[in-house]
Amino acid sequence: EKLQLKHGSHRVGKRTDAVMAKWRGYGLGQFIHWGLYAIPGGEWNGKQYNGAAEWIRSWNGIPKSTYDSLIYKFNPVNFNAEEWAATAKQMGAKYVTITTKHHDGFCLWPSKYTNYTVANSPWKKDIMKPLIDAYDKQGIDVILYFSVMDWNHPGWRYDIKTKEDSIAFEGFKQFTRNQLLELLTLYPTAKGLWFDGTWDKSWVKQAAFADELETEMRKLRPGLIIGSRFRADENGKRHFDSNGVLMGDYEQGWERKIPNKIEDVHGNDWDCVMTVPENQWGYNKAWKGHIKTTNELLEMTAKCVSLGGNFVLNFGPQGDGAIRKEEKQLAAQIGDWMKTNNEAIYNCEYAGLEKQDWGYFTKKTGSDKLYMIVFNVPVSGALKVKLPANTSIGKSYLLAQPAQLLNTEEISGTEYFIHLKNTAAGKPFVVVLEPNAKKGSGNTYD
Ligand SMILES: C[C@@H]1N[C@@H](c2cn(-c3ccccc3)nn2)[C@H](O)[C@@H]1O
């Protein structure tokens, strides 16, 4: 039976308001990881750092104070907010999640609660404001990434063991609250918060404080979208409270991984954040290992939308503020595909149909229109579809050639083949399936 929780989830099931409905329909997003770590770019004194580039400060090879002095090198002469926003627009991203402060504590906005910000760098100017304005102008909604863990702040603790720890951490908690309220006040058009760095015991022990802070933020910014990684319940449970109910408005756990079946998402909203290399979020000069191809990234996008989530692709701009050419190429190629096929991605949801080998189903929200995003064309050229008993295929056609109806064939009461005319597409394509209610089935789709 249900445990009585004071600081567990305050809502069961998806949010039903318009702001969250818009978020649910984004389909594709861009993540931006940018900060001091982009300056070394995974390399120090000519030696490669084997971990994630944005974690280079934790590398034994570099004294922490030496890394921290990178603030005096932050002068991104090629930073161009409009260019970043235009790249996201070209890709077809509907939202962007931007690092305001990563684990190293360097703030991309002139926070008045610490000196470790752009204001005290050669650059001097706010980075967040021009970025948010540029994305707003492109009609791309902004979500703010915020790392609670802050290696630069003297009050940060991994755990609270002594009286001294607890006094220091009280100061840190106020600092965190001040910065979050500051961000929401300075950037009122930001739609939500994507939290990171909340796994240490010190923060997990702050169930009441974090719960009250979440409530305060929602009051300050009605409609604010807050991820599941912000807080733990009074039993230390994170993302899902002690009753297994999601905390926050969407599940944030899908980091560099994608759910395999609808049961994995427990009826919640969620987004998947993904790196282009195996595990590099900040700029890394040497993109080692497997670099995902455009087709892989399109398939990840289709898979996420087919399971009711959004796919957020990470960009790690260089220390000078320019976006690397490989990422620009990916944005252009993804955008090219989205130009023709975005109807199957935007404002679409889980179709509730059995997954088939050829690819992924999505369904237009508020309609019965189905999309089949095909990655694996069967040698037979026949796409198998299994529909609910009271449904048949009204008509079917390639999204790119709506006038050319495809031949459909009933195999049994619920299974059909859709016969492709051309089986040598060479790149993913979309087949539209407009269902029909079967005679006497009682449902009306008109
Ligand atoms: C969104 C991503 N989350 C950050 C991260 C991931 N991790 C991490 C820490 C321990 C185990 C697995 C992953 N720590 N920080 C990465 O640096 C990036 O910001």
Q: What is the pLDDT of residue 425?
A: 81
Residues 5-40: pLDDT tens digits? Answer: 999 999 999 999 999 999 999 999 999 999 999 999
Q: What is the pLDDT of residue 423?
A: 85
Q: What is the pLDDT of residue 390?
A: 87
| Residue of the CA atom closest to atom 11 of ligand 1 | 199
Q: Which atom of ligand 1 is nearest to the CA of 99?
A: 19
Q: Which two tokens stand for residue 115?
A: 């000196």
- Phi first, then psi: what are they for 187, rounded to 5°? -125, 70
Q: At what angle do helices 325-341 and 294-306 cross, to 10 degrees?
A: 50
Q: 147 C-alpha vs ligand 1 centroid, how far in Å? A: 10
Q: Please work out whether the CB of residue 281 comes within 6 Å of at least one atom of ligand 1.
A: yes
Q: 216 C-alpha vs ligand 1 centroid, how far in Å? A: 27
Q: Please work out whether the CB of residue 273 comes within 6 Å of at least one atom of ligand 1.
A: yes
Q: What is the pLDDT of residue 444?
A: 53
Q: 218 C-alpha vs ligand 1 centroid, how far in Å? A: 26
Q: Which atom of ligand 1 is nearest to the CA of 273?
A: 1
Q: Is the pLDDT of residue 443 over 60?
A: no
Q: At what angle do helices 81-91 and 325-341 cross, to 10 degrees?
A: 40
Q: 105 C-alpha vs ligand 1 centroid, how far in Å? A: 15
Q: What is the pLDDT of residue 261?
A: 98
Q: What is the pLDDT of residue 445?
A: 52
Mean pLDDT rounded to a whole number for the chain: 96
**Encoded amino acid at 12, one letter:** V
Q: Which atom of ligand 1 is nearest to the CA of 54?
A: 17
Q: What is the pLDDT of residue 183?
A: 99
HSE value, Cβ hemisphere, 13 Å, CA-based, for 270: 29
381, burial (CB in 10 Å: exposed 0-12, middle 13-18, buried 19+): middle
Residues 190-231: pLDDT tens digits? Answer: 999 999 999 999 999 999 999 999 999 999 999 999 999 999
| Residue of the CA atom closest to atom 15 of ligand 1 | 197
| Residue of the CA atom closest to atom 4 of ligand 1 | 196
Residue 190: helix, strand or coil by DSSP? coil
Q: 324 C-alpha vs ligand 1 centroid, how far in Å? A: 22
Q: What is the pLDDT of residue 242?
A: 98
Q: 55 C-alpha vs ligand 1 centroid, how far in Å? A: 9
- In terms of DSSP bridges, do strands 401-405 and 391-398 run parallel, antiparallel, or are they unpaired? antiparallel
| Residue of the CA atom closest to atom 14 of ligand 1 | 197
Q: Which atom of ligand 1 is nearest to the CA of 147?
A: 19
Q: Is the pLDDT of residue 154 over 50?
A: yes
Helix (H), strand (E) counts: the chain? 9, 18
Q: What is the pLDDT of residue 150?
A: 98
Q: Which atom of ligand 1 is nearest to the CA of 33?
A: 19
Cα separation, 261 vs 245, in Å, equals 19
Q: Please work out whether the CB of residue 200 comes within 6 Å of at least one atom of ligand 1.
A: no
Give me the mean pLDDT over the 92-116 stretch. Answer: 99
What is the pTM for the complete model shown? 0.97
Give me the mean pLDDT over the 368-377 stretch. Answer: 98
Q: Which atom of ligand 1 is nearest to the CA of 31?
A: 1
Does the ipTM exceed 0.90?
Answer: yes
Q: 440 C-alpha vs ligand 1 centroid, how far in Å? A: 54
Cα separation, 87 vs 82, in Å, equals 9
Q: What is the pLDDT of residue 273?
A: 98
- Give CA torsion, residues 329, 332, 334, 338, to 10 deg: 180
HSE value, Cβ hemisphere, 13 Å, CA-based, for 33: 29
Q: What is the pLDDT of residue 441?
A: 47
Q: 275 C-alpha vs ligand 1 centroid, how far in Å? A: 11
Q: 281 C-alpha vs ligand 1 centroid, how far in Å? A: 9
Residues 381-391: pLDDT tens digits? Answer: 999 999 999 89
Q: 266 C-alpha vs ligand 1 centroid, how far in Å? A: 23
Quote the Cα angle for 123-128-129, to 5°.
100
The answer to whether 32 and 99 have CB atoms below 8 angstroms apart is yes
pLDDT band (50, 70, 90) for residue 439: low
Q: 255, 272, 313: which to mutate for ligand 1, most atoms within 8 A of CB?
A: 255
| Residue of the CA atom closest to atom 16 of ligand 1 | 281
Partnered with residue 348 across adjacent β-strands are: 364
Residues 276-322: pLDDT tens digits? Answer: 999 999 999 999 999 999 999 999 999 999 999 999 999 999 999 99
DSSP state of 405: E
Q: Which long-range contacts (CB under 8 A, 24 or more apart) does 354-363 make?
A: 354/386, 355/261, 355/306, 356/383, 356/384, 356/385, 356/386, 357/384, 358/383, 358/384, 359/299, 359/302, 359/428, 360/302, 360/303, 360/305, 360/306, 361/306, 362/302, 362/305, 362/306
Q: What is the pLDDT of residue 156?
A: 98
Cα separation, 67 vs 39, in Å, equals 10
Partnered with residue 97 across adjacent β-strands are: 31, 143
Q: Please work out whether the CB of residue 54 comes within 6 Å of at least one atom of ligand 1.
A: yes
- Phi first, then psi: what are they for 144, rounded to 5°? -95, 125
Q: 442 vs 66, which has greater pLDDT?
A: 66
